[in-house]
Amino acid sequence: MRIFAVLTLMCIFLAPTTAGESCRPMEYDVSEICCPMCDKGSVVKRNCTQDSSTSCTPCERGTYMDMASGLSRCYSCRTCKAEQGLVAERECTREQDSACTVLDGFYCQEPNQESGCTLAQKHTQCNASQMTKLPGTRGTDTVCEDCKTGYYSTPGLKCTEGKSSCGNGKVLQKGSQTKETVCNTAPRRHHYDVILSVMLLLLHG
Ligand X SMILES: *[C@@H]1O[C@H](CO)[C@@H](O)[C@H](O)[C@H]1NC(C)=O
Q: Which residues bind ligand X (CB under 6 A)?
A: 30-31, 44-47, 72, 124, 126-127, 144
Tell me how far CA of residue 50 lies from CA of 24, 54, 78, 117, in angstroms: 17, 10, 38, 45
Sign of CA dihedral 189, 194, 198, 201: positive
DSSP letter string over 154-174? Answer: SSSS--EEPPS--TTSEEEE-
> What SS3 state is found at 13?
helix
Q: Which lies closer to ligand X via its Cβ, residue 87 or residue 157?
A: 157
| Nearest approach, Cβ of residue 57 and ligand X (Å) | 9
| Nearest approach, Cβ of residue 127 and ligand X (Å) | 4
Neighbours of 83 (CB within 10 A): 6
> What SS3 state is found at 120?
strand
Q: Which lies closer to ligand X via its Cβ, residue 99 or residue 159?
A: 159
Q: How far apart are CA 23 and CA 31, in angstroms?
A: 11
Q: Which lies closer to ligand X via its Cβ, residue 101 or residue 177?
A: 177
| Nearest approach, Cβ of residue 91 and ligand X (Å) | 27
Q: Which lies closer to ligand X via its Cβ, residue 69 or residue 84?
A: 69
Q: How far apart are CA 44 and CA 124, in angstroms?
A: 48
| Nearest approach, Cβ of residue 130 and ligand X (Å) | 6
Tell me how far CA of residue 106 lies from CA of 50, 72, 122, 165, in angstroms: 56, 38, 4, 41
Q: Which lies closer to ligand X via its Cβ, residue 101 or residue 132?
A: 132
| Nearest approach, Cβ of residue 171 and ligand X (Å) | 26
